[in-house]
Amino acid sequence: MEYNEAYSRYVGMIEETIGTLLPQTAVECPADGEIPAYLCETMRYSLLAGGKRVRPVLLLAACEMLGGALEQARVPAAALEMIHTYSLIHDDLPGMDDDDYRRGRLTNHKVYGVGHAILAGDGLLNYAYECLMKNALAYPQNLMGHVRAADVIARRAGVSGMIAGQSIDLLSEHMEPEAQRLCYIHAHKTADLLTAPLLAAGCIAGADGAQMEALSRFGACVGLAFQIDDDLLDVEGDAQEMGKQTGMDAQRGKMTWPALFGVAQSRARSQELWSQAEDALGSFGERAWFLHAFAETLRNRKK
Amino acid sequence: MEYNEAYSRYVGMIEETIGTLLPQTAVECPADGEIPAYLCETMRYSLLAGGKRVRPVLLLAACEMLGGALEQARVPAAALEMIHTYSLIHDDLPGMDDDDYRRGRLTNHKVYGVGHAILAGDGLLNYAYECLMKNALAYPQNLMGHVRAADVIARRAGVSGMIAGQSIDLLSEHMEPEAQRLCYIHAHKTADLLTAPLLAAGCIAGADGAQMEALSRFGACVGLAFQIDDDLLDVEGDAQEMGKQTGMDAQRGKMTWPALFGVAQSRARSQELWSQAEDALGSFGERAWFLHAFAETLRNRKK
């Protein structure tokens, strides 16, 4: 199957699953088990804002590569996108990055107000785990695999993962750039949530230790390279093409790779990491064709 | 065993478990799997702020009443307190209730700033599920029970539970009081997180359908009565004794039971609900002695 076709198929599964888990509704104070209309709208606004679905696609692709049941991976993939989306909503809030635009649209709190944006984020985070639990119970023959997947996601998204990275990032604004601190931020704020779908797929598909190790290395390299490229795009990118303002990192006094190591060395490090990511897939042979192509696409992105 | 002694024993287990799950740390950018010092401090500040531990005590007491393994229920109890605490941190933020004090101390964002308070809340919410998953994996012989408990907690805490209640509450500020809406807010914003520990205990202890039904009724009655009393205390309570400002609901234009039905009728409704809560425990006989005494204590509280 051709890459674009496979990608569209994964995205189609993800959009359909999200639509099923979070359907549009008009009932203000609904019956038990349903989501109130306004809360649902605030969550859908950001979840359906047209992201690239990088994390859920990684989950589905890794699951298929490992011979796992794609049907069992749909909800975990959607849950991961919910977690990613909640982190963006909260990151954009006043007190955090205080952004007015995201992906070329007004940020959640600019449309619904700060209070409802906080709840939209909380709602997406909590609903991710609610969906993971419901999905685990729907596949009792693979219950252990699903609980391990949820455990991996919680750890990588959490207080020793993404949230840890966000916290150190926020603490480090206007500090003198420093390598150890910057590595910590990139590893946790970005790479952990790219490794999570790969490892979750491994848990669901019953991967062995060596496979988990390879997936973990691939995720870490892709994550760090992705973030260095992001820092570079903020320095060099075109605001209109990116759908957000560029040069913001410097303006905010954010620690970035180019600020610490310079543009040339950052480019070299990124190239090296993308190569290491390719190498990490070696043991999967031909079956890793999609992940290879996916990494290549991320590497060549302009926004 | 005497009530106060049993209560102290439960609280002791909860504090010890929280201390193990979230120990104080001094490492700023720690090794994998550990929580950065500052983030940890922001979470501990609110989690160890001296709450009554109502929800985790309910979980332990219900588990013991049902003959379940208390050891298996410790982490879920602590996780529930984390969820309760995150909701308070986020509720206190500007854009939500914008409170400066909680339990007689400065609120989280007043001490650490809005950004870190958002992350402290996100961290506690996510860590609750991380702990639930780790705990589930630690008891593979009762894996299904633990996943069902996590599912119950996620549903009651989430977008058709507590967060749904918070959303409708926020939407309803300065609206004309209206009974259906107020019932929705109370049922979800308050009662759902009091029912969650009872049902989670039932899942862990393997309760049957009739027992789950009885626990659910007890939780719903206690939750609604508790919230009506809270509304009454805000009208009539003593600010110093309560450790927070009173009369705030009216000032904010919050919908409350006394505002809608008057003080006398609210008192009557609360009495009736406390009686129904007692009745709901009937089928458990003598074994429910602690839950009876607990309800009695909540009923007689002055803050």
The ipTM value here is 0.95
Distance of alpha carbon A18 from the chain centroid:
15
A59 C-beta neighbours (distance < 10 Å), count: 33
In single-letter form, the type of residue at position A232 comes to: L
Q: Is the pLDDT of residue A238 over 60?
A: no
Q: E-strand spans in chain B?
A: 101-102, 105-106
Say whether B122 and A148 touch across the interface (CB within 8 A). Answer: no
Mean residue pLDDT across chain A:
94
Split at pLDDT 50, 70, 90, the class of B240 is low
- pLDDT at B217 (0 to 100): 98
Split at pLDDT 50, 70, 90, the class of B245 is low
Q: Does A119 touch chain B (CB under 8 A)?
A: yes
d(CA A219, CA A225): 10
Split at pLDDT 50, 70, 90, the class of B177 is confident
- pLDDT at B246 (0 to 100): 65
Closest Cα in chain B to A139: B144
- pLDDT at A245 (0 to 100): 61
Mutate which of A126, A171, A192, A199 to test chain B, going by most B C-beta atoms within 10 A? A126
Q: Does A40 touch chain B (CB under 8 A)?
A: yes
- pLDDT at B32 (0 to 100): 87
Q: Is the pLDDT of residue A241 over 60?
A: no
Question: Residue A106: in which H helix or E strand, if any?
Answer: strand A105-106
The string of pLDDT tens digits covering residues B257-295 is: 998 999 999 999 999 999 999 999 999 999 999 999 999
**Which has the higher per-residue pLDDT, B274 or B239?**
B274
Chain B residues closer than 8 Å to A115 by CB = 93, 95-96, 170
CB distance A193 to A155 below 8 Å: no
| Nearest residue to A10 (alpha-carbon basis) of A103, A84, A80, A83 | A80
Chain B residues closer than 8 Å to A86 by CB = 122
Q: Does A147 touch chain B (CB under 8 A)?
A: yes
Say whether A126 and B171 touch across the interface (CB within 8 A). Answer: no
- pLDDT at A103 (0 to 100): 86
Q: Is the pLDDT of residue A1 over 70?
A: no
Split at pLDDT 50, 70, 90, the class of B241 is low
Give CATH superfamily name and number for B3-299: Farnesyl Diphosphate Synthase (1.10.600.10)
Q: Is the pLDDT of residue A235 over 90?
A: no
Indicate the SS3 state at residue B101. strand
d(CA B97, CA B233): 18
Q: Is the pLDDT of residue A152 over 90?
A: yes
**For residue A7, what are its two tokens?**
């990608």
Average pLDDT over residues B229-244: 73
The string of pLDDT tens digits covering residues A199-213 is: 999 999 999 999 999
- pLDDT at B143 (0 to 100): 98
Average pLDDT over residues A19-41: 95
pTM of the model: 0.96
CB distance B193 to B163 below 8 Å: no
- pLDDT at A173 (0 to 100): 87
**For residue B45, what are its two tokens?**
């500040």
Give percent of chain B with pLDDT exceeding 70: 96
d(CA B300, CA B285): 23
Q: Does B90 touch chain A (CB under 8 A)?
A: yes
In single-letter form, the type of residue at position B132 comes to: L
d(CA B119, CA A162): 10
